[in-house]
Amino acid sequence: MKLTAEISMYPLQDNYLDPIRWFIARVDAYPNIERVTNAMATQVCGDYPDVMAMLAKEMAAAHQKWGKAVFVCKFIGGELDLAHSE
Protein backbone atom coordinates (compact mmCIF):
# COMPACT_ATOMS: atom_id res chain seq x y z
CA MET A 1 0.00 0.00 0.00
CA LYS A 2 1.19 3.50 -0.83
CA LEU A 3 1.10 6.46 1.56
CA THR A 4 1.19 10.17 0.83
CA ALA A 5 2.09 12.53 3.67
CA GLU A 6 2.43 16.26 4.05
CA ILE A 7 4.93 17.46 6.66
CA SER A 8 5.55 20.93 8.04
CA MET A 9 8.44 21.48 10.45
CA TYR A 10 8.46 24.40 12.86
CA PRO A 11 11.80 24.58 14.71
CA LEU A 12 11.48 26.51 17.95
CA GLN A 13 14.49 28.74 17.36
CA ASP A 14 15.33 32.01 15.64
CA ASN A 15 17.39 30.33 12.91
CA TYR A 16 14.56 28.13 11.65
CA LEU A 17 15.61 27.73 7.99
CA ASP A 18 18.75 25.67 8.63
CA PRO A 19 16.89 22.85 10.43
CA ILE A 20 14.17 22.80 7.76
CA ARG A 21 16.72 22.60 4.91
CA TRP A 22 18.62 19.92 6.82
CA PHE A 23 15.44 17.84 7.27
CA ILE A 24 14.51 18.11 3.58
CA ALA A 25 18.02 17.07 2.54
CA ARG A 26 17.75 14.01 4.79
CA VAL A 27 14.40 13.06 3.21
CA ASP A 28 16.06 13.26 -0.21
CA ALA A 29 18.48 10.51 0.85
CA TYR A 30 15.64 7.96 0.54
CA PRO A 31 15.55 6.93 -3.13
CA ASN A 32 12.27 5.02 -2.72
CA ILE A 33 10.39 8.08 -1.42
CA GLU A 34 9.25 10.86 -3.76
CA ARG A 35 9.44 14.40 -2.34
CA VAL A 36 8.03 17.78 -3.38
CA THR A 37 8.46 20.93 -1.32
CA ASN A 38 6.63 24.23 -1.65
CA ALA A 39 6.53 27.38 0.48
CA MET A 40 4.21 25.81 3.06
CA ALA A 41 5.08 22.13 3.40
CA THR A 42 6.83 19.07 2.07
CA GLN A 43 4.87 16.21 0.51
CA VAL A 44 6.27 12.70 0.35
CA CYS A 45 4.95 9.54 -1.23
CA GLY A 46 6.09 5.94 -1.10
CA ASP A 47 5.32 2.54 0.32
CA TYR A 48 3.49 2.89 3.63
CA PRO A 49 6.15 1.21 5.82
CA ASP A 50 8.97 3.15 4.10
CA VAL A 51 7.35 6.56 4.62
CA MET A 52 6.47 5.87 8.25
CA ALA A 53 9.96 4.51 9.02
CA MET A 54 11.60 7.51 7.35
CA LEU A 55 9.45 9.96 9.31
CA ALA A 56 10.12 8.22 12.63
CA LYS A 57 13.88 8.15 12.01
CA GLU A 58 14.25 11.67 10.63
CA MET A 59 11.97 13.41 13.13
CA ALA A 60 13.94 11.79 15.97
CA ALA A 61 17.22 12.84 14.32
CA ALA A 62 15.93 16.41 13.93
CA HIS A 63 14.95 16.62 17.59
CA GLN A 64 18.31 15.22 18.63
CA LYS A 65 20.30 17.62 16.43
CA TRP A 66 18.21 20.80 16.65
CA GLY A 67 16.23 20.50 19.87
CA LYS A 68 12.58 21.41 20.07
CA ALA A 69 10.55 21.49 16.88
CA VAL A 70 6.90 20.97 16.03
CA PHE A 71 6.03 18.62 13.17
CA VAL A 72 2.57 18.84 11.64
CA CYS A 73 1.71 15.87 9.43
CA LYS A 74 -1.27 14.89 7.31
CA PHE A 75 -1.61 11.40 5.88
CA ILE A 76 -3.69 9.94 3.09
CA GLY A 77 -3.67 6.29 2.20
CA GLY A 78 -2.75 5.87 -1.43
CA GLU A 79 -0.50 7.52 -3.97
CA LEU A 80 -1.16 11.09 -5.03
CA ASP A 81 0.44 12.82 -8.00
CA LEU A 82 2.77 15.23 -6.22
CA ALA A 83 3.37 17.12 -9.48
CA HIS A 84 -0.34 17.97 -9.83
CA SER A 85 -1.33 21.63 -9.59
CA GLU A 86 -4.40 23.62 -10.50
> Using DSSP, how many helices (H) and how many strands (E) does the chain show?
2, 4
Q: For residue 27, what is the enclosing H or E element?
A: helix 17-27
Q: Are 73 and 4 in contact (CB under 8 A)?
A: no
Quick check: 70 pLDDT over 80? yes
- Using pLDDT thresholds of 50, 70 and 90, give the confidence band for residue 66: very high
Region 6-20 average pLDDT: 96
Q: Which residue has the higher pLDDT, 38 or 51?
A: 51
- Using pLDDT thresholds of 50, 70 and 90, give the confidence band for residue 82: confident
Region 18-45 average pLDDT: 96
Mean pLDDT of the chain: 95
pTM of the predicted protein model: 0.90
